[in-house]
Amino acid sequence: MKKRIYKSSLLLLMAFTFTFVGCKKSSGGKNTSRATGWSINDKNGGFQYNSDFKAQETGPGLVFIEGGTFTMGKVQDDVMHDWNNTPNKQHVMSFYMDETEVTNKMYLEYLDWIKMVFPIENPNYRQIYLGALPDTLVWRNRLGYNETMTSNYLRHPAYGEYPVVGVNWVQAAQFSKWRTDRVNEYVLEREGYIAQDTKIAGVDANSTFSTETYLNAPDMAYGGKIDSVQGKQKGSKDSTNVYARRSSGLILPEYRLPTEAEWEYAAIALVGVREYNNYRGRKKYPWDGDYTRTAKRQIKGDQLANFKQGKGDYGGIAGWSDDGGDITVAVKTYAPNDFGLYDMAGNVAEWVADVYRPIVDDEANDFNYYRGNIYTKNQIDEEGKVVVINPDAIVYDTLPNGRIVARNLPGEISTVAVDDKDTYLRTNFDSSDNRDYRDGDTKSTRQFFEQFDEIDEEGEDASNDKMYNSPKHKVEVDEEGNLIREYDDSDKRTSLINNETRVYKGGSWRDRAYWLDPAQRRYLPQYMATDYIGFRCAMSRVGDKSQEKQKRARH
């Protein structure tokens, strides 16, 4: 009996041993290539890869939004009857969005950095600062006294946590780009790739940090002075020529304006009415329910957003304010929605990335929908190196309203439009500029077989044959630096829509409750600013759709 038990135990032990050895041999481990069997991250060289990467870091100020499918444009009250919000099903990938609107304090930090790096005393840089300044005159009204806001709203600490206004779409996009570089510069400093306080000490117009320059041509970062500012990377004796790459997993994707689909998905926050894999009911506002007042016992009857109650009613009567504000209010004054986002209705409306068109073309795309793509590539010089903008080669754009803004800042890589070499035999895109694709371009008009030019063969203006024939105001700068403005007074214009017209979403302190519906959409030229439009930033998610891997039941 004992011999039989012994033999069984021995056979079991041998089987377990062979199984263990076999598994160990086949698995290889995370630092052994399953393609070649070679070692990864070997100290002697070879293929280097961040095998310890877990998940994308959440950038400063951001909240994670898990993507999903939703019905975009589902408006319950279409009193305008313009079919501008027709329902269409879309899927949005996971992303991050600012917890609050960008505040005056956040924007002032941006202005302070520009003034420090590009002193306004230098005439070559003066327009960089002036072009980034919000238009404080948006508060003026022909029949209203608002000079206090004109003088104080941006800079006075009493308004520090209030959303910034007077910022046009171009300025909002440039702020987002600046924020990307400052956050990644901080990450690299924290991880020891650059020396402590490099982001402040010794930075000037000739030695600024750009994320794309650092990734594509690290030896040209900080104006070619990267070796003098490199830090001591953790665990490394010598950090010379050691740079973070995309494969390092440290560099965050760019801060940017959210797409219209992302903004609407985040605002409506249907996660609050989700039950398993279905939505139980619809939502009219970012909060649950069909009314703008709360039903919670302690604060029953209080407004859930800052908006105009009715004619002349911006905040209720004294001592019993309906929403606690007459103009904007400090961010986080009201409860967040189910995603943890504040003021997705009321306070200020917000710029989004999209070029405006009356319809969302879900027949063309229903995944991460966005209209506004302009594909570019890095400019390469004759030596095969990327072209980095230097302080003497700053290009300024003059907007239709005469405002001058810097197209790129020194230290950034110059980009050019993609060409035929990049689009040859492609099926997914065939041009650099796709803003009017399937809606306003030559192919989508009844004269699709003709080639449209501004002037036809007979010398007549042919632009009125286009689907979107908007005014074309001209502004030029003469040799003495004076602006020459020429208004378009043509009586043949048929629309205000063009490729520089951008969508803005959400109601504001100036709007009635009708505009609080996240599906509502309006538009304005990208160079215009108001006292009721602000913005917040977004960031794409790389990797898993969910922050926590869900254990899904299998049947």
Mean pLDDT of 468-493: 84
Q: Is the model's pTM score more than 0.75?
A: yes
Task: Render pLDDT for 112-121 as a digit per residue (tens, 0 to 9).
Answer: 999 999 999 9
Residue 530 in domain? yes
Determine the pLDDT at residue 297.
72
Residue 170 in domain? yes
Residue 387 in domain? no
Structurally, the chain folds into a number of domains equal to 1
pLDDT over 60 (residue 222): yes
pLDDT over 70 (residue 18): no
Nearest Cα neighbor of 160 from 233, 206, 102, 92 is: 102
pLDDT over 90 (residue 411): yes
- Residue span of the structural domain in which 365 resides: 52-191+244-372+502-547
Place of tokens 């740079």: 243
Beta strand pairing status for 415-417 and 376-378? antiparallel
Residue 455 in domain? no
Kindly report the CATH number assigned to the domain that includes residue 297. Answer: 3.90.1580.10
Residue 14 in domain? no
At 23, is the pLDDT very low, low, confident or very high (cuts 50, 70, 90)?
A: very low
Least confident of 10-24, 312-326, 386-400: 10-24
Contact between 231 and 192 under an 8 Å Cβ cutoff? The reply is: yes
183 by Cβ neighbours in 10 Å (0-12 / 13-18 / 19+) ranks as: buried
Determine the pLDDT at residue 530.
98
Contact between 204 and 117 under an 8 Å Cβ cutoff? The reply is: yes
Task: Render pLDDT for 280-301 as a digit per residue (tens, 0 to 9).
Answer: 777 889 998 888 888 777 677 7
Q: What DSSP state is assigned to residue 351?
A: E
Share of the chain above pLDDT 70, in %: 87
The larger pLDDT score, comparing residue 139 to residue 400, is at: 139
Contact between 339 and 274 under an 8 Å Cβ cutoff? The reply is: no
pLDDT over 60 (residue 457): no
pLDDT over 90 (residue 240): no
User: Helix or strand or coil: residue 32?
Assistant: strand
pLDDT over 60 (residue 231): yes
Contact between 29 and 54 under an 8 Å Cβ cutoff? The reply is: no
Determine the pLDDT at residue 302.
81
Task: Render pLDDT for 316-370 as a digit per residue (tens, 0 to 9).
Answer: 888 877 788 899 999 999 999 999 999 999 999 999 999 999 989 999 999 999 9
Determine the pLDDT at residue 20.
47
pLDDT over 90 (residue 481): no
pLDDT over 50 (residue 21): no
Residue 181 in domain? yes
Residue 149 in domain? yes
Residue 425 in domain? no
Determine the pLDDT at residue 453.
52
